[in-house]
Amino acid sequence: MIAYLLRRIAALLPVALGVATLTFALIHLVPGDPVIAMLGESAAPADIEGLRHQLGLDRPLGAQYLSFLAGIARGDLGQSIATGVPVATLIRERFPATLELAGAGLIVAIAIAFPLGMIAGANPGGAADVGAMGFAILGISIPHLYLGPLLMIVFSLDLGWLPLTGRGGLSHLVLPAITLGTAMAAVLARMLRQSLIKVRCADYMRTALSKGLSPTRALLGHGLRNALTPVVTLLGLQAGGLLTGSIITEMLFSWPGLGRLMITAISARDYPLVEGCVLTFALTYVLVNMLTDLLYGLIDPRIRFA
């Protein structure tokens, strides 16, 4: 087990290095200057050079890159150029909000997708199928920027059931989670429907029906478990995307997450903060996959001893 864990961690290192390198290269290659953003266009050349030196931005790019990597190795992501606050502190403050939103979005996606997909898959071509898939198409088509305010108007403004914006208790989470999860729910529902229609023709389903099971019981008891495999594969692939995909939802609902922090940092060309945010998103994605593999290994001996 320990050897397996070490191998996985070793495999993580090149990925982290690649992400760090790409992030560093991209943010330094695009136009824009954090020093001018801080001092303004009219600043004296000496002041510009002074601050550039103070921030270490006058050193060769290679040297800056090595310092950046050395900082990461020490667990030091540096300080935000714009605010002077350690990047790690800012990320610690904001990342839980993003995780919370992504997690809730996932729950909403599953809660909507599974009933819809099953209803549609059990009755292909029927009214329920048409209705459910119509809903799914609407879910895929409707942009977050439209769905969010629409939900706000109905459930907050008109009905007064839920708050409009901000992060707080569960009530604050409902509308942003629905906004974030709906598109994913639509994709999952369509996939589940297709998968269920396919398994309906399988031999084991015919066997189950011939043994006297009702179509519904056969589908739930034998078909669903087999139909879920591609759905769960898709779900796993999309789950990571929810983390980064929450940026628009965060902006819309004034949700104080990492995405908003990153957008502000990009505008100010706050190099350390952008690098820290991107690295956090990427490593979380990789880490979740690694933990998945580890847990998978725990329950499947073939993986553990492979």
Partner 1 sequence: MTRQAIGLGVILAIALLAGCRGASAVAKPAGYIQAELEASPISLDPRFATDAISSRVAELIFDSLVKLDARGNFIGDLAENFQRRSPTEIRFNLRHGIRFSDGRSLTAADVKYTYDSVMDAAIASPKRAALEPLASVAAPDDYTVVMTTRRPYAAALELATIGVVPRGSPARGATLPAGSGPFKLLSFTRDEALILARNGARPSAESAAGVVFKIVPDPTVRALELAKGVADFAENNIQPDLLGYLRARPGLSISQFPGSGYDYLAFNFSDPKLRDVRVRRAIALAIDRQAIVGAMLLHTARVASGMLSPENWAFESDVTRYAYDPEAAKRLLDQAGYPEPDGGGHMRFTLVYKTTPEGRRLAEAFQAMLKRVGIGLEIRSNEWATFYSDVQRGNFDLTSMRWVGISDPHHYYQVFDSRMAPPHGLNRGAYSNPAMDRLLEAAEVAFEPARRRQIYAEVQKLAAADLPYVSLWWQDNLVVMSKRIAGFAPYPNGSLLSFSDLVFDSGAPR
Footprint of partner 1 on 91-110 (CB under 8 A): 94-97, 99-100, 102-104, 106-107
Q: Which positions from 262 through 281 interact with partner 1, judged by CB under 8 A?
A: 264, 266-269
Query: Whose Cβ is closer to partner 1: residue 40's or residue 56's?
Result: 40
Minimum distance from residue 174 beta carbon to partner 1 (Å): 13
Angle of helix 2-29 relative to helix 271-299, nearest 10 degrees? 160
Contact status: 69 vs partner 1 (CB under 8 A): no
Q: Which positions from 25 through 64 interact with partner 1, judged by CB under 8 A?
A: 30-33, 36-48, 50-51, 54
Contact status: 289 vs partner 1 (CB under 8 A): yes
CA distance 289 to 217: 34
Query: Whose Cβ is closer to partner 1: residue 149's or residue 215's?
Result: 149
Contact status: 218 vs partner 1 (CB under 8 A): no
Minimum distance from residue 234 beta carbon to partner 1 (Å): 8
Long-range contacts formed by 87-92: CB under 8 A, 24+ apart? 87/272, 87/273, 87/275, 87/276, 88/276, 90/261, 90/273, 90/276, 91/258, 91/261, 91/276, 91/277, 91/280
Minimum distance from residue 134 beta carbon to partner 1 (Å): 26
Query: Whose Cβ is closer to partner 1: residue 48's or residue 202's?
Result: 48
Q: Which positions from 141 through 180 interact with partner 1, judged by CB under 8 A?
A: 145, 148-149, 152-153, 156-157, 163-169, 172-173
Long-range contacts formed by 282-291: CB under 8 A, 24+ apart? 282/15, 282/16, 282/19, 282/23, 283/16, 283/19, 284/240, 284/243, 285/240, 285/243, 286/12, 286/15, 286/16, 286/19, 287/12, 288/239, 288/240, 289/240, 290/8, 290/9, 290/12
Minimum distance from residue 130 beta carbon to partner 1 (Å): 29
Query: Whose Cβ is closer to partner 1: residue 10's or residue 237's?
Result: 237
What type of residue is 272?
P
One residue of 113, 184, 185, 261 binding partner 1 per CB under 8 A: 261
User: CA dihedral defined by 96, 99, 100, 103, rounded to 10 degrees?
Assistant: -160
Query: Whose Cβ is closer to partner 1: residue 106's or residue 133's?
Result: 106
